[in-house]
Structure 1
Amino acid sequence: MTKIRIYDPAMCCDTGVCGPSVDPELTRVATAIFMLEKETIDIARFNLATDPKAFVDETQIQQLLHAEGVEALPVIIVNDKIKLKGQYPTNEQLAEWANVPLDVLTKQPSKSKGIELL
């Protein structure tokens, strides 16, 4: 089973999807992670501000931060190998790494039919 770990820079909340102006890229990533979790993919996300221990516990992240600083974040580790740094993965990359069809990450919520009031 694929194991995906995302190490985020320090953000105001765990997803970065908060505050008065939300970055659409962070919204996309949060949605993709949620959809992968629904598929029972082993994926976890760590925020430097709220979970610094995860950064200390992962030797590759320690070394990368020492060498390149926080500018290297976000960092994505797939099956214990750094796959991407300095940017978030595309939905295509996430689907490939998780071995799921791309449409799993792009499903739109079904629209329910409302009750028409007279």
Structure 2
Amino acid sequence: MKDMKIEIFDPAMCCSTGVCGPSVDPELTRVAAAVYSLEKKGFEIKRYNLANEPGIFAENETITQILNEKGPDALPVTIVDSQLKKSGKYPTNEELSEWFGVAKAELTEKPKKRVSIQLKQL
């Protein structure tokens, strides 16, 4: 199953995951955590942002057709091994679990960033 390729075509967002700014959509946080967890397990899963990577959208015939027919409201779109799997909503953790053959609980790990602060004494 690790040779499976999943691509998620996101609507235009401020950053690659959409989990930035003052008010973060919990759905985007869930998807970002699931993608992070799957990548750590060695699965190939890519996300493309319409605002930052329009060329990738234009190069994909399926995405071009969907955008021409339904417009950007059809995003996000999920393609699994070149086959359209979902349009208009992100895949659920249940769907990702089924597609990748992993437990749903394994899709909730969030990236951990360590911040070190060095204070100078005055």
- In the alignment, what sits opposite 1:54? 56
Alpha-carbon separation, structure 1, partners of 2:47 and 2:92 = 15
Q: TM-score, normalised by structure 2?
A: 0.85
- In the alignment, what sits opposite 1:116? none
Identify the match of residue 103 of structure 1 among 98, 101, 105: 105
Alpha-carbon separation, structure 2, partners of 1:51 and 1:11 = 11
Alpha-carbon separation, structure 2, partners of 1:8 and 1:90 = 15
Matched, 1:5 2:14: no
5+ residue gaps, structure 2, are 112-122
Matched, 1:37 2:55: no
Residue identity in the other structure for 1:9: P
Moved over 2 A (4+): 106-109
Residue identity in the other structure for 2:62: Q
Alpha-carbon separation, structure 1, partners of 2:19 and 2:90 = 14
Residue identity in the other structure for 1:23: D
Are the structure 2 counterparts of residues 13 and 78 from structure 1 closer, same or farther at C-alpha, using a change threshold of 3 Å?
same
Residue identity in the other structure for 1:21: S
Alpha-carbon separation, structure 2, partners of 1:27 and 1:107 = 11
Alpha-carbon separation, structure 2, partners of 1:12 and 1:107 = 23
Kindly state the Cα deviation for residue 96 of structure 1 after the two structures are TM-superposed: 1.0
Residues paired across the two proteins, number: 109
The percentage of aligned residue pairs carrying the same residue is 55
CA contact (8 A) 2:33 2:110 kept: no
Provide Cα deviations, 1:71-110, integer angstroms capped at 9, x if missing partner: 100000011111000001111101111222222113589x
Alpha-carbon separation, structure 1, partners of 2:93 and 2:76 = 15
Kindly state the Cα deviation for residue 11 of structure 1 after the two structures are TM-superposed: 0.3
- In the alignment, what sits opposite 1:80? 82
- In the alignment, what sits opposite 1:112? none
- In the alignment, what sits opposite 2:16? 14
- In the alignment, what sits opposite 2:114? none
Q: Aligned-residue CA RMSD in angstroms?
A: 1.4
Q: TM-score, normalised by structure 1?
A: 0.87
Matched, 1:25 2:27: yes
5+ residue gaps, structure 1, are 110-118
Q: Secondary structure of 2:37's match?
A: helix
